[in-house]
């Protein structure tokens, strides 16, 4: 397996996480403030190149009932622009409640509002990517 980039898409901030080369553990990488889908795609393509990843997992913000809303359309526009900039495979991954879960953990840990803002998106990307990696591990598991 090779390194994978995880992306948490937001309207103003994108969070990034990267896996280890064996694809077992996701680690938070960074948060980038973006102005539009084009800037987000350019930042993502650059990070993917710098990190030497072989695929990208993008969090898909489905509604709680599984339907697609405006946020999904924004993510798909970002993906379209990203495909124009790099040829890496892009996987969509259900990210429902990811950011909320991270926010709750940070609040319980007593992290200040300002520090939560800086950490939330990259930690959400880490959760998205780890969930994806865990699903691959389950698929690869062969009981003896």
Average pLDDT over residues 84-106: 89
Average pLDDT over residues 129-144: 78
Residues 58-67: pLDDT tens digits? 999 998 888 8
Over the chain, what is the mean pLDDT? 90
Average pLDDT over residues 43-51: 97
Burial of 55 (0-12, 13-18, 19+ CB in 10 A): middle
Bigger pLDDT: 48 vs 144: 48
3 state SS of 27: strand
In the numeric block, the tokens 């200040």 are attached to 112
For the chain, what is the largest distance between any 2 Cα atoms, rounded to a whole number of angstroms?
51
Q: What are phi and psi of 48, to 5 degrees?
A: -60, -40
Residues 75/24, Cβ–Cβ less than 8 Å: no
| pLDDT at residue number 120 | 84
Q: What is the pTM of this model?
A: 0.89
Joined together, the tokens standing for residue 50 give 């710098």
pLDDT at residue 143 is higher than 60: no
Assigned CATH for 4-140:
3.30.420.140
Residues 53/96, Cβ–Cβ less than 8 Å: no
CA–CA gap between residue 124 and residue 30 (Å, rounded): 11
Residues 100-127: pLDDT tens digits? 888 888 888 888 888 887 788 899 999 9
Number of neighbours of residue 86 by Cβ within 10 angstroms: 17
pLDDT at residue 142 is higher than 60: no
Q: Enumerate the domain spans of the chain.
A: 4-140
Helices (H) and strands (E) in the chain, counts: 4, 5
In the numeric block, the tokens 């926010």 are attached to 103
Q: Read off the pLDDT band of 35 (50, 70, 90).
A: confident
Q: What percent of the chain has pLDDT over 70?
A: 94
| pLDDT at residue number 140 | 64
CA–CA gap between residue 61 and residue 94 (Å, rounded): 6
């Amino acid at each position: 397996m090779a390194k994978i980039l995880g992306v948490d898409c937001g309207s103003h901030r994108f969070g990034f996480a990267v896996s280890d080369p064996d694809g077992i553990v996701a680690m938070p990488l960074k948060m980038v403030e973006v102005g539009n889908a084009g800037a987000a795609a350019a930042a993502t393509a650059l990070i993917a190149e710098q990190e030497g990843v072989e695929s990208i997992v993008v969090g898909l913000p489905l509604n709680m009932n599984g339907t697609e809303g405006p946020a999904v359309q924004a993510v798909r526009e970002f993906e379209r622009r990203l495909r124009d900039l790099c040829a890496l495979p892009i996987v969509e991954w259900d990210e429902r409640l990811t950011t909320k879960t991270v926010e709750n953990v940070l609040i319980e840990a007593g992290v200040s509002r300002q520090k939560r803002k800086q950490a939330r998106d990259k930690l959400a990307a880490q959760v998205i990517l780890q969930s994806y990696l865990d699903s691959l591990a389950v698929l690869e598991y062969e009981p003896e």
